[in-house]
Amino acid sequence: MPDREERVKVGDVAPAASVELQDQNGEPVRLSQLKGQNLVVYFYPADNTPGCTVEGREFRDLYDQFRAFDCEVLGVSPDSVASHREFAQNNRFPFRLLSDPTGEFAKAFGVWNERGRVSRTTFVLDRDLRVRRIFREVDPRGHAQQVLDFVRSIIESHRMLGG
């Protein structure tokens, strides 16, 4: 069996696209339903912790810029729908937080660690749900800007190539 860090690679189609998770409002979400737009899927360990709050707030503050590139942001952790609802409301997150209580989704992406927690990792997916970039061992502070810079570079290079 490959090392968990080797399961998903740049160029792969995102795994678990048909897995249904619930967002903070209890609404079902599948990656396959979001095909056709760029996606940022960021995995984080737990709601209401210092690093996860910083990371979420930075994605919140840059959310309009992500949307300008037709890019949706999704946060994923094992926390419950109710925990996500409170976390999203308290921090005014305009994006969805997906509840992955069994870790099935995180395991498919190879970010479920040996301690039974999610490793802080971000995947940038294109309109075909193909992995364009993986950010591993993320430092929460400044990470959202790094991701936005990458999304911007891909969109601008695509435009320059006549796409």
Return the pLDDT at 6. Answer: 53
The CATH number of the domain holding residue 131 is 3.40.30.10
Return the pLDDT at 155. Answer: 82
Q: Which residue type, as a one-letter code, is found at position 116? A: G
Task: Tell me if residue 71 is catalytic.
Answer: no
Return the pLDDT at 89. Answer: 98
- Give pLDDT < 50 ranges for the chain: 1-5, 160-163
Return the pLDDT at 2. Answer: 36
Catalytic residue among 21, 31, 41, 52: 52
122-151 pLDDT, tens per residue? 999 999 999 999 999 899 999 999 999 999
Return the pLDDT at 159. Answer: 62
Domain count along the chain:
1
Return the pLDDT at 7. Answer: 78
Return the pLDDT at 156. Answer: 78
Return the pLDDT at 157. Answer: 76
Q: In whole angstroms, give the CA distance from residue 123 to residue 105.
A: 13
Q: In whole angstroms, give the CA distance from residue 78 to residue 103.
A: 6
pTM of the entire structure?
A: 0.92
Return the pLDDT at 114. Answer: 80
Q: Give percent helix, percent strand, percent coil of the chain, each to the nearest 5.
A: 35, 20, 40
Residue 149: give the domain boundaries.
Answer: 4-160
